[in-house]
Amino acid sequence: MRKISARWIPHLLTKEQKQARVKTAKQLLKLYPKYDSRSFANVVTGDETWVHFYEPKRKMANKIWATKNAKRPCIAKRTMSVKKVMYAIFFSNQGSAFQIAVPKGKSVNAKFYKGKVLNKLKKYFNKRRPATGLRGVRLLHDNASCHKATIVRDFLKQEKLVELPHPPYSPDLAPCDFFLFPRLKKYLAGRKYKTRKDLGSAIFQCLKSIPRKDYETAFKNWIKRLKLCISHAGEYFEGMR
């Protein structure tokens, strides 16, 4: 006998949700059975996340070598009152595409997502592909209500931008959630920022410092995760043998 801890999972999946995860994973693997830079050149992914002015270091990062009688180091937890900013961040296999800070007091609704975020995405691809712009670009984002609103879908249709399917309750299949955001939070951990400008500059430096090969690896891992989702019958597979 041995004592083990419970495995943390994002959501208690129903049978139907597991089936939806498997179905979507199979659809995506038909499009992308393996990674190659050419087929992923027109794929872009993004999401929103809260970024705090102070991110405490993780417990493991604060371990030190110490003598038997030495006192344990102390570190303050981040309090609920610590300021934070919501950012929309997008990237491709080429690297970071852009970051947008949501203005104070605003929320990411359909109007903001279409008017600010997707229009920024349009400018990004107009610069990269002047002749075609967003036409034929494949967008991977989650099922947040602002992403699925009518005005957003109309914009995608108008720009001939293809929306890739993503199953509900599946952060383990979203490159932002399993790759970019954890890496960003780790980079910011232990640092304090006084202004939104300072925080934004730090985020920009972090995203630009990530090598291109790491962004490519994120999409390679996305394909691996789709296969794991299928082999585990739609269950969350992280932490499982």
Per-residue pLDDT reduced to its tens digit, 31-41: 999 999 999 99
Q: Give the span between the Cα atoms of 88 and 124, in whole angstroms.
A: 14
Q: 77 with 61: CB under 8 angstroms?
A: no
Q: Under 8 Å CB-to-CB from 109, ≥6 apart: which residues?
A: 146, 149
Residue 43 pLDDT more than 50?
yes
Confidence of residue 238 (pLDDT cuts 50, 70, 90): confident
Tokens of 186: 């780790």
Q: What is the DSSP letter of 82?
A: S
**Cα–Cα distance list, 47 to 71, 178, 219 (Å):** 41, 12, 15
What tens digit of pLDDT does each residue of 88-105 get? 999 999 999 999 999 998
What tens digit of pLDDT does each residue of 125-144 get? 999 999 999 999 999 999 99
Q: 176 with 184: CB under 8 angstroms?
A: no
What tens digit of pLDDT does each residue of 51-78 get? 999 887 655 444 555 665 666 555 445 4
